Amino acid sequence: MLALTSIWTTILLAAAVALGPLATDMYLPALPAMGDALSAGPDQIQLTLSLYMAGFAVAQLFCGPLADRFGRKPVMIFGLLLFFLASIGCALATNVESLMTFRFLQALGGSAGPVLGRAAIRDIYTPREAARIMAILASIMALAPAVAPTLGGLLLSGFGWSAIFVALGGYALVVILLIAFGIPEPMAPGNRQSLRLGNLACNYRRIGTDPSFIGYTLTNAFAFAGLFAFLSGSSFVLIDFLGIAPDHFGLYFACMVAGYIIGNLTAVRLGRRLVPDQILLRGLLISVAGGSIMASLAMTGVYSVWAVMIPQTLFMVGVGMTLPQTMSGALANFPTMAGSASALFGFIQMAVAACVGALVGHLYTGTSLIMASVIAVCAVAALAAYLLLVQRYPAPGFEPAEAGK
């Protein structure tokens, strides 16, 4: 077994957390082809993405309390096993309705990785240390979405869209073995919580009414929703509208992921001299700039791959700086119920993202205008949540020293 504070433990947790972006990003190049194969329109195929996010959101509300009661490892292993079985079901789907069903089940299991990965980091580290570790973890796990669309495009070209889900199932099995035999249980026995309904309701009420938690969670949710708007619309915009080849989609997608990694690494470097909320504000301003540029270009009729990808990459630099700070800040006040706090955080994040993704699919008009406009609005909403809530109710140790006087 590895030490909990080992970098290899962080890498294993990143592998579990990466299951979420892998399940969304790997099949993006296949969305148009899946629509053709299953006789489904863009709105129905995009709904498989939003349903996944909805299932992901709901499952976390149960996953977190179960992990607070029984520990992180057993719940994570059970969830990943369900993800494996549902992935095989997706691969065997013969119509869009059955694909939607298995995608929802896939989400129920896949939620265990991210929600319990965040909780484990909070178990192991203090809030300020956790912000730095989450930025490192995010940089590591960003390698998954960087290669996922390219790998998905290759699998699509060589074996068809079903092979993408077989590969996802195989990845889940590997992660199960690594988690089971690679790391000890990170949760202290004394922090176990009761599963009684009254206790759960009390815990969620306490978490959900904490103004600091609300501020960081909404800031995160809107920033993540901007990313999800791109995930939901990019394959149709880049492949169908702008005409890039499906197997080249991953190369353009990697540009966006590179921006995210740059943001993560910038946050780690700035963390040596700035507190998390100062890093957070800088990231939000960068995201607003990227989203606004993309929307402005689309509104003036400038349609090209780079009119989408350059602003989106800038947007992702800001997101890479923003997400680790908000994750750690939201969990800072709840060391003894990190699973439940992480669950509610993830539920709100995924619920907002699912609604935004469905909106992009419903309003899609065949150009990049809707996607770009939604990304810009999400960036502005994230900045507003920060200014109205986070600045007034910062997490302990996250605010500049003079702000606490």
8 A C-beta contact, residue 68 and residue 193: yes
**323 within 8 A of 137, measured Cβ to Cβ:** no
Q: Does the pLDDT at position 215 exceed 90?
A: yes
Per-residue pLDDT at 43 exceeds 50: yes
- Give the model's confidence band at 309: pLDDT under 50 very low, under 70 low, under 90 confident, else very high: very high
Residue of higher predicted confidence among 223 and 55: 223
Q: Is the pLDDT of residue 338 over 70?
A: yes
Per the prediction, the chain carries an average pLDDT of 86
User: CA-CA distances (angstroms) from residue 394 to 220, 275, 299, 334?
Assistant: 14, 11, 36, 14
Q: How many residues does the chain have?
A: 405
Mean per-residue pLDDT, 175-204:
79
**Which pLDDT belongs to residue 382?**
98
> Residue 310: what pLDDT?
96
Q: Report yes or no: 62 and 340 within 8 Å, Cβ to Cβ.
A: no
pLDDT tens string 71-119:
888 888 999 999 999 999 999 998 999 999 999 999 999 888 877 777 7
Model pLDDT, residue 44 = 85
Tell me how far apart the alpha carbons of residues 45 and 34 are, in angstroms, rounded to a whole number: 7
With a CB cutoff of 8 Å and minimum separation 6, the contacts of 243 are none
| Cα atoms found within 13 Å of the Cα of residue 204, Cβ hemisphere only | 18
Q: What phi, psi does 114 have (nearest 5°)? A: -65, -45
Q: What is the percent of the chain with per-residue pLDDT over 90, rounded to a whole number?
A: 38
Using pLDDT thresholds of 50, 70 and 90, give the confidence band for residue 405. Answer: very low
pLDDT band of 390, cuts 50, 70, 90: very high
Mean pLDDT of 10-19: 81
Closest CA to 391 of 256, 212, 259: 212
Task: Select, from the ranges 16-30, 84-98, 177-191, 345-359, the one with the highest average predicted confidence (pLDDT).
Answer: 84-98
pLDDT at position 403, please? 42
According to the CATH classification, is domain 7-186+198-396 in 1.20.1250.20?
Answer: yes
More confident residue, 230 or 11: 230
Please tell me the distance from the alpha carbon of residue 119 to that of residue 207, in angstroms, as a whole number.
14
pLDDT for 288 beyond 60: yes
Asked if residue 142 has pLDDT above 90, the reply is no
**What local confidence, expressed as pLDDT, does residue 279 receive?**
94
- The backbone torsions φ and ψ at residue 161, rounded to the nearest 5 degrees and listed phi first, read -65, -25
pLDDT of residue 111: 84
Answer with the residue of higher pLDDT: 197 or 90: 90
Q: What average pLDDT score do residues 174-200 get?
A: 79
**Are 57 and 97 contacting, i.e. CB atoms less than 8 angstroms apart?**
no
Q: Looking at residue 301, what is its pLDDT?
A: 92
Q: Which residues contact 127 (CB under 8 A, 6 or more apart)?
A: 328, 329, 331, 332, 395, 396, 397, 398
Tally of CB atoms within 10 A around 111: 30
Q: What is the mean pLDDT of residues 220-229?
A: 93
Residue-wise pLDDT for 296-308, tens only, equals: 999 999 999 999 9
Q: Is the pLDDT of residue 16 over 70?
A: yes
Quote the pLDDT of residue 404: 40
404 or 254: whose pLDDT is higher? 254
Judged against a pLDDT cut of 90, whether residue 7 lies above it is answered with no
Whether residue 61 has pLDDT greater than 50: yes
